[in-house]
Every structure is written in structure tokens, then in C-alpha cells.
Amino acid sequence: MTARVIVAGFCVIGLFGIVPITYQHATGIASCPMLGIVPACYVVTLAYSLTGASMLVVAGLRSALFLAGWIPIFGLALLGSSMQVLGNEACPRSVGDIPGCYLSLTLTTSLILAFLVERLYRPKQP
């Protein structure tokens, strides 16, 4: 299995986690924290989409598109996890009552590792 498929799979997992929260928020159940006037779940949904789409573009654009999606996800997951550790309930909880930012931080760390492997073992173009 190629690293690109693994990266795309991690993005699908992230989307499966965030899309229901985004949908709830869009239908009137305020279920995610706000970043100014924008719900954080909207940013995360867009970012996972960009990260996944990066696996479908040519290698020259792949890194830029990946990082445009990955940096916001990682930053929000790190910020939310830090706030949770400090006792501030900042993240929606998953079905198992685990703060979603912990899961997102784990997923984004796995995502960057898979992306780095993909870059390392990508066939070189002449």
C-alpha cells in the first residue's frame, strides 16, 4: 500500500470525525468552538479536504496544498489539546468521551509522518 493511500485514508478518517460535528453546527446545534466569526469545525473540514485533495494533484503542488490543510488542523489540535490539559473544556467530545482535539492531534501527527514517507519514497521525476 502506498503512502499516498495512507495519507488519503487518514484524511477520510478525519472527515468522518469532523463532518457530523460540522453538520450539527450548520443545523443550529452550536457544537464547535468559534474562531472569531468562523466555527472551528468549518476550518477543520476544509483543511482535511485540502490535505486529502493534495494526494490527487501533481507532485509539484502536493506539498503546498498538503501544508495549507495540515498546518491549521495541527495548530487547532495542538491548541485545543493544550487547553484541555490545562483544564479548559475546549474540544467537542467523541463517542468514547475523549476530547476530539486529542484524536485530531494523534491523527495529524500520523498524517505528517505518512506524508513525509510519501515524499521520501516518491519516484523521482526525470
Q: Does residue 63 surpass a pLDDT of 80?
A: yes
User: Quick one: cell of 19?
Assistant: 463532518
Q: How far apart are CA 8 and CA 77, in angstroms?
A: 19
Q: Could you read off the pLDDT of 11-61 as tens digits, one per residue?
A: 999 999 889 888 988 898 877 888 899 988 899 999 999 999 998 888 788
User: Quick one: cell of 115?
Assistant: 506524508
**In this predicted structure, which of 38-42, 73-77, 87-91, 106-110 has the lowest mean pLDDT?**
87-91
- Hey, where are the domains in the chain? 3-121
Q: Could you read off the pLDDT of 90-107 as tens digits, one per residue?
A: 777 777 888 888 888 999
Q: How far apart are CA 86 and CA 126, in angstroms?
A: 51
Check residue 123 and give its pLDDT: 64
Q: How far apart are CA 18 and CA 85, in angstroms?
A: 21
